[in-house]
Amino acid sequence: MRSELQDHAARLRLQPLKLLATARAGDQPLEAAGWKISLARHFLDASAEASLLQHGADAALVKAGEDLFGGAIVNPSEDRPALHWALRAPARLTGEAETIRQSVLPALEFAGKIQTGEIRTAHGEAFTAVLHIGIGGSDFGPRLIADAFEDLAHPSIELRFAANVDPYDLDRAMAGLDPLSTLVIGVSKSFGTEETLYNLGRARAWLEDKLGDDAARHLALVTANPEKAKAWLGGRDAYTFDMPISVGGRFSLWSAASLACMIYLGPETFRKILNGANEMDEHVRTAPLESNAAMRLALLDFWNTSIREKPMRVLLAYANRLRMLPTYLQQLEMESNGKSVDSEGNTVSPPTAPALWGGEGSVGQHSYHQWLHQGSQDVPCEFILAPDFDRDSEGLDALAAHALAQAEVLANGRSLEEVRAEEPGISEAVSAQKVHAGGRPSTLLSHAGFGPEAFGALVALYEHRTYFAGKLWGLNPFDQWGVERGKTMAGRIQAVLKTPDKAADPVTAALLKQIF
């Protein structure tokens, strides 16, 4: 089947994207949980798309969905299911999935009590600040949520984040905060993450300096390893919440890992996010392959990366609320599928997960869009148009026009003849520089009523897309051995920082002498 797809790609490469897209302009967009998704501007036609769908059927994507929602072992290297979807299920489940569903409820209840003042500081006052400490999946998701819906936040609660082991990150986060009115939340699934424990230790000392033994009443810990957390507390009792072992860190924003956001935004807003994600889950669970948005986007990733061999994808979020989405998705997609060995230990022959980067439209238009339009590389782009339609109409109209214009120029380009006709009298040299090659494909996702529900649905869509893409490549999206190796080496190097001659690698030894 792959050779058949390669034949289609070779055939379509010779056709102008503008003509291919025009022929597909009348196709109905994919629809899922309020999102509409146009795939018209890609190097596909009916024949190629039929072969791509057949590839998805041969790869048993529908069965992969059944396995995920059925609680099967889909993380073979760790012998676990992946039950992040259970966190947003509205009704009772069975077995381990129900335990997962229940695990988020105490955090929502706690958040409500913080907001109402039922849970107070050690001195009986309301908490006015929350300091969230975590890294990776314990940071990106909560930070994305908080930034997206800052305008819905409780007016008397300030939220800060610290992730980096660089001391300035925590210094910056704590600047101006009063330990007497601050709740520190530490999130670490293993409760062994170096950066988090370093920052959490400093934050605890900051609390203890003013509160003494009462500092524990200003600490909330979210972890799958409560025994390690208890030992770290040294016998004191802090608020503790479960971070289920069957929920990967980069799939955990639905869990108590987002306790800070539940407090900041309120449990009801957070429940709306969960409800939107569940609506997308239901679409993915029940929609057939041909109309299943997550499966179709995964197949598109396979097409562009493994067949057309495009090593990147650029995400262009034309919604200020989603300005941090590219950063979040970098971890979700690149940590999940940034691999070249399959679950059986075999090298995967086609290129796998593309590098993902991007930013906020229209800000990026004054930065890297020049490279997208006229650079030497042809990179598939993904536009997300999801504004708040109750805001200033002039700005919203301009936002939509800019997004559509960028996609059109990327696809259709601008010929030398068009330049000469539109700008007579300019020199040949300048005329040539104004030519746009075109032929650069893009996807457009849009939503007519963006809010917490639409946000939840969108993130869940990307989660499922990542899972199905991993299946197409034969990868396990739920482990991350490359990350683990880096942590191991950091520990070894830390032990010889001040004795560089003991470093095993000669270049590392030389670099230590350079640095210190």
Bond before 77 cis per omega within 30 degrees: no
Percent of the chain with pLDDT over 70: 100
pLDDT at position 483 is 85
Quickly state the pLDDT bin for 183 (edges 50, 70, 90).
very high
Domain count within the chain: 3
Res 487: pLDDT: 84
Q: Could you read off the pLDDT of 324-349 as tens digits, one per residue?
A: 999 999 999 999 999 999 988 999 98
Residues 126 and 266 in one domain: yes
Q: What is the pLDDT, as a whole number, of residue 235?
A: 83
What is the pLDDT confidence band of residue 139, given thresholds at 50, 70 and 90? very high
Domain membership of residue 121 (yes or no) is yes
Q: What is the mean pLDDT of residues 143-154?
A: 97
418, part of any domain: no
96: annotated active-site residue: no
**Could you tell me if 45 and 112 lie in one domain?**
no
Q: Which domain holds residue 505?
A: 481-515
Lowest mean pLDDT among 3-17, 349-363, 473-487: 473-487
Q: What's the mean pLDDT in 222-234? A: 94
Residue 16 inside a domain? The answer is yes
Instruction: Tell whether 172 and 241 lie within a shared domain.
Output: yes
Q: Is residue 458 part of a domain?
A: yes
CA-to-CA distance for 479 and 485, rounded, in angstroms? 12
| Digit-coded pLDDT (tens) for 237-287 | 999 999 999 999 999 999 999 999 999 999 999 999 999 999 999 999 999
Assess whether 92 and 67 both reside in one domain: no
CATH code, domain with 199: 3.40.50.10490
Known catalytic membership, residue 18: no
Are residues 273 and 145 in contact, defined by beta-carbon separation less than 8 angstroms?
Answer: yes
* Structural contact between residues 452 and 271, judged by C-beta atoms closer than 8 angstroms: no
**Residue pLDDT, tens place only, 343-385:** 889 999 889 999 999 999 999 999 999 999 999 999 999 999 9
Q: Given the DSSP bridges, would you call strands 442-447 and 355-360 parallel, antiparallel or unpaired?
A: unpaired
**pLDDT (0 to 100) of residue 192:** 92
Asked whether residue 507 is assigned to any structural domain, the reply reads yes
Specify if 351 maps to a domain: yes
Is residue 144 within 8 Å of residue 323, measured between CB atoms?
A: no
Q: Which one of 227, 344, 366, 428 is the catalytic residue?
A: 366
- Separation CA 188–CA 224 (nearest Å): 8
**Is 436 part of the annotated catalytic residue set?**
no
Alpha helices for 194-291 (secondary structure H):
194-211, 226-233, 259-265, 267-286
Residues 137 and 221 in one domain: yes
Query: Which of 64-73, 254-263, 480-489 is predicted least confidently?
Result: 480-489
What the block records as the tokens of 23 is 């022929």
Residues 92, 226, single domain; the answer is: yes
Are 180 and 200 in a shared domain? yes
Same domain, 283 and 268: no
Interstrand relation of 442-447 and 35-38 (parallel, antiparallel or unpaired):
antiparallel
Q: Please check whether residues 261 and 368 belong to one and the same domain.
A: no
Which amino acid, one-letter code, is at 360? Answer: E
What is the rounded CA–CA span in Å between residue 122 and residue 30?
52
Question: What secondary structure, in 3-state letters, does 368-396 show?
Answer: CHHHHHHCCCCCCEEEEECCCCCCCHHHH
Tens of pLDDT, residue by residue over 95-113, are 999 999 999 999 999 999 9
Q: Identify whether residues 28 and 94 lie together within a single domain.
A: no
258 and 284 fall within a common domain: no
First to last CA, the chain: 55
Per residue in 407-436, pLDDT tens? 999 999 999 999 999 999 999 999 999 999
- Of residues 63, 487, 502, 513, which has the active-site annotation? 487
Instruction: Identify whether 144 is part of a domain.
Output: yes
The pLDDT confidence band at residue 123, using thresholds 50, 70 and 90, is very high
Read off the pLDDT of each residue in 212-231 and give the average, rounded to a whole number.
96
SS3 445: strand
- Residue 34 and residue 150 share a domain: no
Residue 1 has pLDDT above 80, yes or no: no
Element (H, E) at 3: helix 2-13
**Identified catalytic residue from 335, 382, 453, 463:** 335
Give a yes or no: residue 395 inside a domain.
Answer: no
What pLDDT shows up at residue 349?
A: 85
